[in-house]
Amino acid sequence: MAAPGLLLLLALPAGAWPRLGLPPRPCVHCCRPAWPPATPGSPAPDGDGEKWVQLPHVRPTIDISILKGEKGETGVRGRSGRSGKEGPPGSRGLRGRKGQKGQVGLPGTPCQRAYAAFSVGRREGLHSTDAFQAVPFDTELVNLDGAFDLASGRFLCAAPGVYFLSLTVHTWNYKETYLHIMCNQQAAAVLYAQPSERSVMQTQSLLLPLAAGDTVWVRMFKRDQDNAIYGEPGDLYITFSGHLVKPAAEL
């Protein structure tokens, strides 16, 4: 009788179990499930009392080299990007080789340089008669452009600049020698010798700036004693010379 009753109970629908007053029973699998439980790694009892073991996770991989195709053609070159900021200057490079000699240039204009010079002399002696007397000359040694007038004893400056001037005389025995090198009406230098029983050669020289139109000459001065310079027709004892050292344009 027990077997037919069991079969009858199993044939009842699920909703009829509570009305029969029977205690509820959990559903038990009669065989091992085909998949692991809902929570991986958590043990779940089965009918045989065994535990589930989590299967290893397997990730499939694909060898890309097998699927790689042939290299394509080079594409069109893109536009140039913006210029970057200027970097710091680099170190100085090595010195390069000397270049080839260039061609000869065109000839330049000739340099226009001013020249001026004179050198004159007097062969006859001269005694002073007035308070002031210009010394004339009778011998011309050098006179560029005729700038020196022998009769008046004056040099007229046409090329301004710095001039070197020199006066040389022979003194007279027992007579005073007192001369001035004049620029216009101003005494620039003096040549003096006291009276002596022996005559000597005296020289005075100087550098003097002259402007265009200035005159240079020698003046004899007389004081209480006789003033004279010695000369002979056969020899040249008295000379007066000058030349331009540097033009004013180059100063």
pLDDT tens digits for range 169-178? 999 999 999 9
The pLDDT assigned to 177 comes to 94
The pLDDT assigned to 61 comes to 72
Residue 88 in domain: no
Residue 226: give the domain boundaries. 117-250
Cα–Cα distances (Å) from 121 to 22, 106, 212, 235, 251, in that order, read 171, 47, 24, 10, 31
| Burial of 205 from C-beta contacts in 10 A (0-12 / 13-18 / 19+) | middle
Residue 59 in domain: no
The pLDDT assigned to 128 comes to 87
State pTM to two decimals. 0.58
Residue 242 in domain: yes
The pLDDT assigned to 153 comes to 97
The pLDDT assigned to 126 comes to 93
Identify the segments of the chain with pLDDT beneath 50. 1-2, 7, 47
**Domains identified in the chain, total number:** 1
Residue 152 in domain: yes
Q: Identify the CATH number of the domain in which residue 235 sits.
A: 2.60.120.40
Residue 207 in domain: yes
Residue 33 in domain: no
Residue 227 in domain: yes
The pLDDT assigned to 217 comes to 98
Residue 233 in domain: yes
The pLDDT assigned to 230 comes to 96
